[in-house]
Amino acid sequence: MRSRVLLFAALLALLVLAPARAATSTVTITKDGFNPKAVTVAPNDTVTWTNGDTSIHQVECKTAGFKSLVLQPGQTTSFVFKTAGKFNCGDLVVKRFKSSVTVQAGGAVTVTQTAAPKLVVYGGSVTLSGVVSNRRAGETVNVFAKPFGQNQFATVGSAVSVANGSWSFVVKPKLQTAYEARWRPTNQTVMSPQTTVNVKPQVGLVKKSARGRIVTFFSKVRGAHTFAGKYVNLQRKNRFGQWKGLKRVTLGSTSAATYKVRLPRGRSSVRVFMPAAQAAPGYVAGTSRVLTLTR
């Protein structure tokens, strides 16, 4: 019985400590040189050179201790890079052809995530992006989201990494949402730090009509929930550049309102502002576009 337990523990340890699978990066030798001229790999990854030219070539990475046979057109050669560092490679036939292989140091398996922008108006898009630590293309990164008021993350889609392990995914948060990227390079899933994107309600301001200094405006606030009964402030910018309230407007059952305001003589810049307390829950303060009127 004890031997079975020990065997199970040993197998489990092997699974947990198993490294990410080795990858192969391909470099083509053309009449113009190495393509690409620089590659980045992880320890124990393989680099394969293919002679895509009509002439012979011979690859040498002297500091890595590698020199290929002479490659005829169409032939390939490979080398496994086990040690971290940057290795300069060249062609012994065409001396001016130079390239490099960078082997990243081993370390924790991670996936990163950032969001741009981190503040968006309802209906707007946000790009999530990051890098997987093995710096390989073709890795699947799953994106999870937890909108305001939800207790658990749920998957919203996936992205596939490209060159250097970078990935990106576009989302449209309907209200404040936390995002998390998850990647499974081995038998274990690694998760990125959470990124929270704040959302402003979409605040509209339209001039419907004007008679003298009396202007009729229409405002509507859009979001994932109703704003009926909440209020917004019509504001005017004073000569010091400060926004001062002209009128508080309560929104109706459709989260909208039509209202009249008497503007001062001359030129006025006005906007509608919804305070955070009125935009909540799930939204931060929002503002409309600025209208400039002369009465």
* Same domain membership, residue 191 and residue 126: yes
Query: What is the mean predicted confidence (pLDDT) over 189-217?
Result: 96
pTM: 0.65
pLDDT of residue 192: 94
pLDDT score of 1 more than 70: no
pLDDT score of 182 more than 90: yes
Which residue segment(s) compose the domain that 177 sits in?
Answer: 114-199
pLDDT in tens, 221-247: 999 999 999 999 999 999 999 999 999
Closest alpha carbon to 197 in 180, 220, 218: 180
pLDDT in tens, 91-138: 999 999 999 998 876 666 789 999 999 999 999 999 999 999 888 899
Closest alpha carbon to 260 in 223, 212, 292, 225: 212
* Same domain membership, residue 34 and residue 88: yes
pLDDT score of 268 more than 70: yes
Q: Mean pLDDT score of the chain, rounded to an integer? A: 90
CA distance 64 to 77: 15
Query: What is the mean predicted confidence (pLDDT) over 6-20?
Result: 41
* Same domain membership, residue 287 and residue 214: yes
Q: Are 195 and 118 in contact (CB under 8 A)?
A: yes
Last residue of a domain, one of 50, 78, 103: 103
Query: What is the number of structural domains in the chain?
Result: 3
* Same domain membership, residue 77 and residue 61: yes
pLDDT of residue 88: 95
The answer to the question of residue 170 being in a domain is yes
pLDDT score of 144 more than 60: yes
Query: What is the mean predicted confidence (pLDDT) over 254-274?
Result: 96
* Same domain membership, residue 207 and residue 192: no
